[in-house]
Amino acid sequence: IRFPSHNTDTMTTSAESFSQAQNYIPGGVNSPVRAFKGVGGTPIFFERAAGPHVYDVEGKRYVDYVGSWGPMVLGHAHPEVIRAVQETAAKGLSFGAPTQIETAMARKIFELVPSMALVRMVSSGTEATMSAIRLARGYTGQDKIVKFEGCYHGHSDSLLVKAGSGALTLGVPSSPGVPASLAEHTLTLPYNNIAAVRDCFDRLGDHIACVIVEPVAGNMNCVPPIPGFLQALREECDKHDAVLIFDEVMTGFRVALGGAQALYGVTPDLTTLGKVIGGGMPVGAFGGKRAVMEKLAPLGPVYQAGTLSGNPVAMAAGLKTLELISVPGFYDQLADTCRRLCEGLEACAAAAGVPFTTTRVGGMFGLYFTDQAEITSFDEVLACDAERFKAFFHAMLEEGVYLAPSAYEAGFVSAAHDEAALEYTFHAAEKAFRRI
């Protein structure tokens, strides 16, 4: 057998890097969306990043609207975050024993998201949601969970489930490897459909352990909740003693300092966090009401654990990030940047005569090739012109703007996206919209 060289010096281009990666990594990537299947072409391999920019292995610079899928709310390689990581790393990478910085982190989370009275740190968003669901099941003694079409909560078995045919039929696995006997406990309802929620609870409410929802859906592009939707979830969960879980892995510290729950004034029983909370390191967390969280081991019988949970280097990056985003006015500025971006892109599209609209909440946004004024459901997202998005994505890429490589993902701005980055984006967009 002849093995390709391990020397990265030979991987001079993204295409060459991708070709070599495929020899050793399934599909050449460690998370499927990175493979550009949603837009076609070859993924860009990155080498470094700073502020609003990422640089590929060929030295080309892009204004970045992916931000590592959300975490980089301060921009890339913020000097204070990097320093915190370096100083902490120098003292040892992991102890597998309690450290004071974990308490500092939990206290900071509680200060910013007061519904999270007790917090358990984990290492990814998937772990956070998986653990929150186990806890909700353990707390209520019920097995059924409710989730929504178009929402993504990571890849644990109970959540890789789609609706069966017909309303309220048993859920079916959306991936081979997920047992049908487990999937049948997951009920999938249409997002923003209050009547479907009420009907589901009327019929099955007493068997439901929890509802898990993205309070702003960011995994089917960016779909804000309609007025009353989150409140209806709260009401039904209260009525039936079910646990309401807000999956704020994406929206936490992204749409507002206190997350979507602060923005919309609805308090969940449990919250899951990820992305921003790690400042770019692998971190997740779940937490909430004392009565529920106290059921978790070692206090209670619901088991959950992690060798690297609360890792000091990850905590240092996350805590420094949380400190820096807590300064007054941070979210006003972030939301203003997002507004200017969306309005600017809409103006470029209008000038080129391309039917196009945007959605945005705080520092996250959605781009839609449609002549529909409002997007509130997964079906409406699916009805948009995905082919036109692909063409736009590649035209922007060529011009040096990196958008999410899928028509079904939210985009993100950071505090580092300054006037120059926006102007650069608009120049690129003028050309891109004309070309498509």
| Catalytic residue ranges | 152, 247, 275
Contacts to ligand PLP from residues 256-285, by CB under 6 A: 274, 284
What is the strand order of the sheet 270-273 is part of? 118-122, 284-288, 270-273, 243-247, 208-213, 144-148, 186-189
Task: Name the token pair of 110.
Answer: 């509680």
Question: Of residues 138, 154, 205, 411, which one binds ligand PLP by CB under 6 A?
Answer: 154
Task: Name the token pair of 133.
Answer: 């669901």
Amino acid at 53: H
Letters for 30-69 (x = contact with ligand PLP by CB under 6 A, - = none) are ---------------------------------------x
Letters for 187-226 (x = contact with ligand PLP by CB under 6 A, - = none) are ---------------------------x---xx-------
Alpha-carbon distance 191 to 312, whole Å? 37
Alpha-carbon distance 132 to 302, whole Å? 10
Long-range Cβ pairs for the range 95-102 (8 Å, 24+): 95/312, 96/307, 98/310, 99/310, 99/312, 99/315, 101/310, 101/312, 101/315, 101/316, 101/319, 102/310, 102/315
The least distance separating ligand PLP from the CB of residue 153, rounded to whole angstroms, comes to 5
Length of the chain: 436
Task: Name the token pair of 148.
Answer: 């929504």
Contacts to ligand PLP from residues 303-342, by CB under 6 A: none
Question: Of residues 124, 140, 321, 425, which one binds ligand PLP by CB under 6 A?
Answer: 124
96 forms beta bridges with none
Count of C-beta atoms within a 10 Å radius of residue 396? 24
The least distance separating ligand PLP from the CB of residue 133, rounded to whole angstroms, comes to 12
If one asks whether residue 359 binds ligand PLP (CB under 6 A), the answer comes out as no
Choices 78-86, 226-234, 242-250, 331-339 (CB under 6 A): range interacting with ligand PLP: 242-250
The least distance separating ligand PLP from the CB of residue 27, rounded to whole angstroms, comes to 17
Going from the C-alpha of 218 to that of each of 34, 187, 222, 276, 328, the distances in angstroms are 17, 20, 5, 14, 25
Alpha-carbon distance 30 to 53, whole Å? 22
How many residues interact with ligand PLP (rule CB under 6 A)?
A: 16
63 forms beta bridges with 53, 401
If one asks whether residue 250 binds ligand PLP (CB under 6 A), the answer comes out as yes
The residue among 195 and 305 lying less far from ligand PLP, judged by its C-beta, is 305
The least distance separating ligand PLP from the CB of residue 284, rounded to whole angstroms, comes to 6
Residue 415 has φ and ψ, to the nearest 5°, of: -65, -15
If one asks whether residue 126 binds ligand PLP (CB under 6 A), the answer comes out as yes
DSSP codes of every residue in 164-227:
-SSTTPPPEESSTTS-HHHHTTEEEE-TT-HHHHHHHHHHHGGGEEEEEE-SSB-SSS-BPPPT
The residue among 186 and 425 lying less far from ligand PLP, judged by its C-beta, is 186
The residue nearest ligand PLP at its CB is 125
Residue 361 has φ and ψ, to the nearest 5°, of: -140, 120
The residue among 69 and 201 lying less far from ligand PLP, judged by its C-beta, is 69
The least distance separating ligand PLP from the CB of residue 55, rounded to whole angstroms, comes to 24
Choices 11-19, 132-140, 245-253, 314-322 (CB under 6 A): range interacting with ligand PLP: 245-253
The residue among 153 and 320 lying less far from ligand PLP, judged by its C-beta, is 153
If one asks whether residue 249 binds ligand PLP (CB under 6 A), the answer comes out as yes
Residue 434 has φ and ψ, to the nearest 5°, of: -65, -40
Question: Of residues 56, 236, 247, 269, which one binds ligand PLP by CB under 6 A?
Answer: 247
Contact 126, 273 (CB under 8 A): no
The residue among 171 and 278 lying less far from ligand PLP, judged by its C-beta, is 278
The least distance separating ligand PLP from the CB of residue 34, rounded to whole angstroms, comes to 12
The least distance separating ligand PLP from the CB of residue 273, rounded to whole angstroms, comes to 9
If one asks whether residue 148 binds ligand PLP (CB under 6 A), the answer comes out as no
Residues that bind ligand PLP (CB under 6 A): 69, 124-126, 129, 152-154, 214, 218-219, 247, 249-250, 274, 284
